[in-house]
Chain A
Amino acid sequence: DAGVIQSPRHEVTEMGQEVTLRCKPISGHDYLFWYRQTMMRGLELLIYFNNNVPIDDSGMPEDRFSAKMPNASFSTLKIQPSEPRDSAVYFCASSLALYEQYFGPGTRLTVT
């Protein structure tokens, strides 16, 4: 398997623009997680899905953030409108049951 795939790897956008991050989990995994990592706040869980259903979205910062998982092989995290404070590395991870998570390479987002 190719592992968890994320795109794009780097994104630079201007404040106010919409940003969409994409993730393809490992085939057969039933959990998918979205994280944000900054130096100040460390690794924060934003939301996770089980069998395409959101289980815990308490980490989603505000209404500007939304995540979807339309099928078992694809998920998106959208920020609209983006702000400079959203600049971070966003990781997607997947797992079989709530056990060992496999992380994707991350998307480095810069909002100017």
Chain B
Amino acid sequence: GQNIDQPTEMTATEGAIVQINCTYQTSGFNGLFWYQQHAGEAPTFLSYNVLDGLEEKGRFSSFLSRSKGYSYLLLKELQMKDSASYLCAVYYGNNRLAFGKGNQVVVIP
């Protein structure tokens, strides 16, 4: 089975840093994805973590701790266009893939 938890919504100011958390409980673990989805649009890929540690990609970084079943996505220098839903997805078990419900980030001036 699988259980993926994300906080539902957060508000942050333009230029700030925001951390979006994802905790998971799955039978087996193969990797964790982060996707961004703007309202009315399709999700787009942000990152993929397999090993513990931090992966940095421009203003976005993703961290994984396999032993704790925990990941976070760090958004730096927030811009208005970063207002979106951020989805974590876990690849687990025997070729299974499940998405969390997403965390809505609202960026205010």
Contact = CB atoms under 8 A, between A and B. Distances in A.
B97 A42 contact: no
A95 B87 CA distance: 17
Given A43-B43, A43-B87, A56 B99 contact: no
Interface in B32-49: 33, 35, 41-45, 48
A24 B85 CA distance: 26
B48 A100 contact: yes
B28 to A, nearest CB: 13
B91 A98 contact: yes
Interface of B: 33, 35, 41-45, 48, 87, 91, 95-102
Interface of A: 33, 35, 41-45, 48, 55-56, 58, 91, 93, 98-106
